[in-house]
């Protein structure tokens, strides 16, 4: 299986401090969160889930945002595995897709 990884960016947030972000969209969201003065952090908490083959795996959403009341995932291409992760996620989780980012003015 060929996993395409996006470029990693280092960013220093006045709110979240030094973080490493995966891709331009995550970087744009981090800057938007700072502009809005939202209390956020790069999430490091891992959540167990069972994948499509019945194996226990771990999922780490992109951000925790206090003003959104939970976790935030910035998502481009969605897969069946993503839906598997999200189906049993035990905390509030928002998924921001390309259209969401455009509507919020985060990307063009």
3-state DSSP call for residue 49? strand
| H/E stretch holding 24 | helix 24-35
Q: Give residue 3's pLDDT.
A: 55
User: Considering just the CA atoms, what is the radius of gyration of the chain in Å?
Assistant: 14
Residue 99 pLDDT grade (very low, low, confident, very high; cuts 50, 70, 90): very high
Q: Give me the residue spans of the domains in the chain.
A: 8-103
pLDDT(88) > 90: no
Residue-averaged pLDDT of the chain: 94
Interval 6-46: pLDDT, tens? 899 999 999 999 999 999 999 999 999 999 999 999 999 99
d(CA 60, CA 71): 10
**DSSP per residue over 52-87, as a string?**
TTS-EEEE--SEEEGGGTEEEEE-SS--HHHHHHHH
């Amino acid at each position: 299986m060929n996993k395409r990884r996006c470029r990693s960016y280092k960013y220093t947030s006045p709110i979240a401090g030094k973080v490493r972000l995966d891709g331009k969209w995550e970087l744009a969201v981090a800057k938007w969160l700072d502009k809005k003065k939202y209390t956020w952090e790069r999430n490091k908490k891992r959540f167990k889930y069972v994948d499509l083959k019945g194996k226990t795996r771990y999922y780490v959403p992109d951000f925790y945002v206090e003003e959104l009341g939970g976790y935030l995932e910035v998502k481009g291409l969605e897969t069946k595995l993503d839906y598997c992760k999200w189906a049993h996620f035990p905390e509030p989780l928002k998924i921001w897709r390309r259209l969401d980012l455009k509507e919020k003015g985060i990307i063009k």
